[in-house]
Structure 1
Amino acid sequence: ATAYSFAAPNVKRIFPTVDAFMNMVTNGYPPVRKPRTYSFGKVEETAPGSIVQQVLIVGPDGKDYEAVYTLQQQPDGTFQITGCSLRASNSLST
């Protein structure tokens, strides 16, 4: 439920309930849902009020993944997640 609080309005329109959102995360992003370890990588401001955050993950299967989150600054000044892409990574776990 905490993860849902970080979702931007565009994501909440697609997944209007915590249950729908968590079902999507559980089924589509297992390494994000239950990582063995994670560390924050590069962050880049792509436009005023828009950032991209890299997260390096060791998934529940022991494999390395890279998640790239896009975040948008909201009217109250907070940043919320507008999207996430996940791919297998060749990075060495640290």
Structure 2
Amino acid sequence: MKPHSNWLFVRLARWLATAAWALALLAPVAPAHAGPFTVADEKSVRAVVEGQLGAFARDDASKAFSHAAPNVREAVGTAANFMAMVRNSYPAVYRPASVGFLKPEGRNDQVIQRVQMTDASGDSWPAIYSLERQKNKSWRITGCVVVENKGRMA
């Protein structure tokens, strides 16, 4: 591996660890215990994820990176590194053929947004986004876990 590739791999590993940590923190906010969000909060959370997906579709690294929370930006370093990581490690997120949003779940300033993605081959990819409300009241993505679903959408 080239030294630059090693550096990117370390950054990716840190980002994945951060995402796993963020999802572990959100475990107590399972649907049965979730507090209600306002309709405005639900729309804002969805808009952030849609905004990032739209930025990926346009190859707009800066805009995609702007939807990431500070913990993700620090772990990845630059918008270009972020875009490369998503392109190489999350192809279903980078170029989904279709997306379907479930109702966001959470409480206080943390939320999970589940998104059902389908890739160009028709394979289904459930994605679980964790988001956190920032001090300025905006929502930012703190992590995303994509799970391969062995089936296809009907």
Taking structure 1 as the reference length, the TM-score comes to 0.90
Q: Count residues with an aligned counterpart.
A: 93
Aligned-residue Cα RMSD (Å) equals: 1.6
Where in structure 1 do 4 or more consecutive aligned residues deviate above 2 Å?
89-94
5+ residue gaps, structure 2? 1-60
Aligned match of 2:143: 83
Aligned match of 1:10: 71
For residue 38 of structure 1, give the secondary structure of its aligned residue in structure 2.
Answer: strand
Alignment map for 1:50-65 (pairs within 5 Å): 50-65=110-125
Q: CA deviation at 1:76?
A: 0.4
Identity of aligned residues (%): 34
Task: Give 1 or 2: higher helix fraction.
Answer: 2
For residue 42 of structure 1, give the secondary structure of its aligned residue in structure 2.
Answer: coil
Preserved contact between residue 95 and residue 119 of structure 2 (Cα < 8 Å)? yes
Taking structure 2 as the reference length, the TM-score comes to 0.56
Alignment partner of 1:31 is 2:92: yes
Aligned match of 1:41: 102
1:17-36 Cα offsets, whole Å, 9 max, x none, are 11100011011100000011
State the alpha-carbon separation in 2 of the partners of residues 60 and 21 from structure 1: 22
State the alpha-carbon separation in 2 of the partners of residues 34 and 59 from structure 1: 7
